[in-house]
Amino acid sequence: LAPWIPVVGLEIHAQISSNSKLFSGSQVQFAAPPNSLVSFFDASLPGTLPVLNRRCVEAAVMTGLALNCSINKKSLFDRKHYFYADLPAGYQITQQRVPIAVNGSLSYSFCIDNKMSQMVTKTVRIKQIQLEQDSGKSLHDGTRSQTLVDLNRAGVGLMEVVMEPDMCCGEEAAAAVRELQLILQTLGSSQAVMAEGQLRVDANVSVHHPGEPYGVRTEVKNINSIRFLAKAVDYEIQRQIEELENGGTILNETRAFDSKLGCTVPMRDKEGKQDYRFMPEPNLPPLILYDAKSLPANMNHQQVINIDWIHERLPDLPSVKREKLVEQYGILPEHSFTLLNEDGLAEFFESVAKQTQMKPKKVIGWILNDLLSYLKQHSLTVKESPVSSFLLADLLNLLEKKEISSTAAKQVLAELWKGEGKTPLEIVKEQKLELLQDQKELEQICQAVIDEQENQ
């Protein structure tokens, strides 16, 4: 049988972290009482007009720069029309013709075969980033045959990040999204928490034989975590391969991932292909951005965005942070990858490293093997760790000074997890774990043991 090449592209919607919505002043907040964060514009009251939120534009520019995109100094807004209960105006304002950023790239890494020793780095092209409105939420109440509509989310700013079909499997897709998530969180442009709907991923999947054109693709939606993303993509690839090998065809359809069953199912047919009747948004002039060169002299600072100014103030991206950790502490790239992969872990490690004489290369083992596995076992975040960096550093110092053995140290750590407020030294004394250093004392103990043996 001829080999199959799976092709995976992603459309990611990241909710912009801002105080107010993209085109109106109502607040952005998760889990507020229904319809309590809805302005006249969000409710599409006739006669209301959109006013662009500066912070949202800045977030998109930051994200575009972090993803190596060209920032379009002039971008446009369009209306995308369709009727749905959670879309009050009957159209979404988006950027279809000329988005704010294009042609970027994202490098991501992952471990082959789950071994921490073999890391692979790949790149996925970023087609574009566009600003657009989020829709409201509709809840279908089957028993009462009604639909409940909550418009709190309607109009919240989104960045749609389109990743070209450069990925080949669930693992790659998951790693790419994870890296994007870290970048967004580092920038602060989105909190990117999937569970709260701040990061939504749709996967486009197709398969083909080498040398042949791309196959028909399906769109997979309803993916609620990075783990499920990998599963959904891999399932869909398999499903398509099996279908084609059995002589079937792939429909260009939208499928939903069912996390319970671990498979994708066709979504309700949306009456064939939708024609969104795109039209320029007449109430918003073109969005003009400047850089240091093109910035006019007498412009009101409030009214302009300077791309260079934003660029200069970008924080260190995860990839840079990782390199710095490797350089500064002599740890392996895989180590720094894991450090950044856990929220707060890198900071914890650095804090411990500062407070102990133990070499960072040795500290990292305690962080990644002992601390991390304990946290994982108990489903705790780094912030929730009962063992603070101070306590751990304290313990490691005892070990470093050879006051206790490595086995004893693990015993003390196990005790520290209980979070009873004892210091490592106190535990060592309690459990008599001190290493005996005195030559004479040691000789006496040995002699006693030998004598006992002789007596028997």
Q: Which is nearer to another protein, 121 or 146 (CB)?
A: 146
49 binds another protein, rule: CB under 8 A: yes
Q: Which is nearer to another protein, 123 or 283 (CB)?
A: 283
Phi-psi region of 86 (alpha: psi -120 to 50; beta: other; left: phi over 0): alpha
Task: Note the residue count of the chain.
Answer: 456
Q: Are 218 and 226 in contact (CB under 8 A)?
A: no
Shortest distance (Å) from residue 91 CB to another protein: 6
Which amino acid is present at 322?
R
Shortest distance (Å) from residue 17 CB to another protein: 23
For residues 353 and 7, what is the distance between their CA atoms, to the nearest angstrom?
Answer: 43
β-pair partners for 347: none
For residues 80 and 134, what is the distance between their CA atoms, to the nearest angstrom?
Answer: 12
Candidates 50, 64, 104, 318; binder of another protein (CB under 8 A) is 50
Q: Which is nearer to another protein, 78 or 171 (CB)?
A: 78
Shortest distance (Å) from residue 98 CB to another protein: 15
For residues 332 and 326, what is the distance between their CA atoms, to the nearest angstrom?
Answer: 6
Candidates 31, 83, 246, 379; binder of another protein (CB under 8 A) is 83
Candidates 89, 176, 353, 382; binder of another protein (CB under 8 A) is 89
48 binds another protein, rule: CB under 8 A: yes
For residues 433 and 442, what is the distance between their CA atoms, to the nearest angstrom?
Answer: 15
Q: Which is nearer to another protein, 77 or 110 (CB)?
A: 77
Contact region for another protein (CB under 8 A) — 75-83, 253-261, 376-384, 399-407? 75-83
Q: Which is nearer to another protein, 149 or 314 (CB)?
A: 149
For residues 48 and 41, what is the distance between their CA atoms, to the nearest angstrom?
Answer: 5
**CA 158 → CA 38, 150, 220, 282, distances in Å?**
17, 18, 19, 20
Candidates 27, 44, 96, 355; binder of another protein (CB under 8 A) is 44
Number of residues that bind another protein (CB under 8 A): 32
Q: Are 393 and 352 in contact (CB under 8 A)?
A: yes
Shortest distance (Å) from residue 131 CB to another protein: 14
Alpha carbons within 13 angstroms on the beta-carbon side of residue 147 total 9
Q: Which of residues 251-290 bind another protein (CB under 8 A)?
A: 275, 277-279, 282-285
Helix (H) or strand (E) holding 199: strand 199-208
Shortest distance (Å) from residue 197 CB to another protein: 22
The DSSP code for 157 is: E
Alpha helices by DSSP H, listed for 110-246, are 170-187, 226-245
149 binds another protein, rule: CB under 8 A: yes
Shortest distance (Å) from residue 24 CB to another protein: 10
Measuring CA to CA, which residue among 107, 108, 109, 105 is closest to residue 128?
Answer: 105
335 binds another protein, rule: CB under 8 A: no
Q: Which is nearer to another protein, 91 or 366 (CB)?
A: 91
Candidates 16, 75, 79, 336; binder of another protein (CB under 8 A) is 79
Shortest distance (Å) from residue 300 CB to another protein: 8
Shortest distance (Å) from residue 387 CB to another protein: 53
Shortest distance (Å) from residue 301 CB to another protein: 14
Please classify residue 22 by burial: count the beta carbons closer than 10 Å to its beta carbon, then call 0-12 exposed, 13-18 middle and 19+ buried: buried
Residue with tokens 């418009």: 151
Interacting residue ranges for another protein, rule: CB under 8 A? 40, 43-52, 79, 81, 83-85, 88-91, 145, 147, 149, 275, 277-279, 282-285, 303
